[in-house]
Amino acid sequence: MLRRNLLEETCSKIVQFCNKHSLKDGICIHSPIFKLGVQDNLLLSNNLLSLYAKCCGVEHARLLFDEMPYRDVVSWTGVLSAYVKDGNHEEALRFFDLMKASGEKPNEVTFSNVLRSCSALGDFVRGARVQACVIKHGFESNPILCSSLIELYSKWDLFEEAVGVFNAMENGDTVSWTAIISSLVQAGNRSGRYNFSFA
């Protein structure tokens, strides 16, 4: 048992290193890892999934995901993020539906990617439903999610709502400030002068 744990940890560290420094080498070690019989280690599988998403594309990441005996929110979000990065927003939303049906609870990164897809597709109705889920899960003041919501509302010219989301944040960061400033510039360019008050 100790030997297996050490083997799993070593393989996971190697994949993490390859993920940061040498994607090509990471792909080469995938097959030997499976021959060692440690593919059911969730951390190792998630690291391989991330590697595949970066190097080989979402199709290979999805194949690996489908073969994984165990999955968690990191596994689901890794594939969903790969779909978003690839610009395949409809598939990202379908994959999110599968995630919900599986019973896996989304995290902040999951929601941020889903909101990006809603924004890219111009799907305001779904974006509003996702915002309700964000609030239900207690993530409404997360700067990353707020930035995604600001982007979504701005796309639909709902600038007052965008400012409302910004004001609801406890602590804005550079990304959220950039999002709200871009939104206000867009509001000025499209609709003349807006007067917003920041809380």
State pLDDT tens for residues 31-58: 666 666 656 778 878 888 887 777 767 8
Same domain, 145 and 129: no
DSSP state letters, 16-46: HHHHHH-HHHHHHHHHHHHHTT-TT-HHHHH
Instruction: Tell me the C-alpha distance between 70 and 65, whole Å.
Output: 9
Nearest Cα to Cα of residue 175 among 145, 134, 133: 145
- Within-domain flag for 75: yes
Q: Kindly state the tokens that stand for 98.
A: 């599968």
Structure tokens that stand for 45 in this block: 């599988």
Provide the domain count of the chain.
3
Give the pLDDT mean for 60-87.
Answer: 92
How does 169-187 read in b/e, with b if 16+ C-beta sit within 10 Å?
Answer: beebeeebeebbeebbebb
Assigned domain for 62 exists: no
Other beta carbons within 10 angstroms of residue 101's beta carbon come to 8
Confirm whether 61 is domain-assigned: no
Whether residue 7 is contained in a domain is answered as yes
Q: Do the domain assignments include residue 64?
A: no
Q: Show the domain range for 18.
A: 1-56
State whether 162 and 176 are in the same domain. Answer: yes
Q: Which of 47-51, 121-125, 131-135 is the least confident region?
A: 47-51
> Is 89 a domain residue?
yes
DSSP 170: S
Instruction: With a cut of 90, say whether residue 21 has pLDDT above it.
Output: no
What's the mean pLDDT in 141-166? Answer: 86
pLDDT in tens, 100-122: 999 999 999 999 999 999 999 98
Task: With respect to residue 151, please indicate whether it lies within any of the assigned structural domains.
Answer: yes
In this structure, the answer to whether residues 77 and 47 fall within a common structural domain is no
